[in-house]
Structure 1
Amino acid sequence: MCTYRDKAKYATKYKVAAILFFNDGISPERVSPLEVNLAQDNVIPALFLSFSVGQSLANAALNLSTNANVQLAIDTKDLPNFPVGNICADTPTGDPTQTIVIGSHSDSKAAGAGINDNGSGTAANLALAVTLARLFRS
């Protein structure tokens, strides 16, 4: 069994026109389409179909008399850059040779690379920053 990224690499190697993924439908959470990150070097159009659409296409492809055919219409657009950044804070007291680094992320997405969460780490870090600011004022 290979990852979606591996499947995209094989598709590139064998010069396919597009990739149509679909889940196996063995449970309710494996029926709907997913958002899949195929990596920045992927150059093949890829769609993740619902189980019912994927199963219909797979069945049609198995039946040579149906001559299954898929056509894709693709529109693209450039998105503007958006600011990202880090927050750095220093305290007026303490030992400059002792550093605590606290981090979190808020850019996750379902089925993407890395961990997927609800932003609770970022919220916790903001609450910690507010609390530390209050402590240093008193």
Structure 2
Amino acid sequence: MLTPGLAQRLHLQAAFPFVPWQFWVVLLAGAGATYGGVADWRYHRNPLHLKLPAKERDAEALALGAGGVPMFGLMWLAMLSAQPARYLVPIVVVLIYTVVAICYDEFVFHRKRCGPEETRYHRLLVFGNGLAWLAWFHFIYG
């Protein structure tokens, strides 16, 4: 159950649309990104398609584990905090690391070998996550 102070800070409403527009963007863009990630995973599970080399799997795990997971935690803490500015510098540092890790993965591994179908999945995953993050960031700091 949400406390009245938290519900007020999150701008929750009793009538539709219930939550601020940024949450709807996070929901839709995040759903698109999730679809892209699952579709890419299923693509690589098919024995007819290329298996991922160990270096690529490691790069993707580092981007998610050292970038995406801490980013989610920091954004969550900032959203619930009465002083979200305390989290701004760590969020930007993790954002820079995450963008570099994603670019490394895309330019070193995917650029040369991905066909149009897999490229669509990657773009949906990356741009969906980026749009969801921007909407969430705007909700916290906008």
TM-score with structure 2 setting the length: 0.31
State which structure, 1 or 2, has the greater radius of gyration over its C-alpha atoms: 1
TM-score with structure 1 setting the length: 0.31
Bigger share in strand: 1
Bigger share in helix: 2
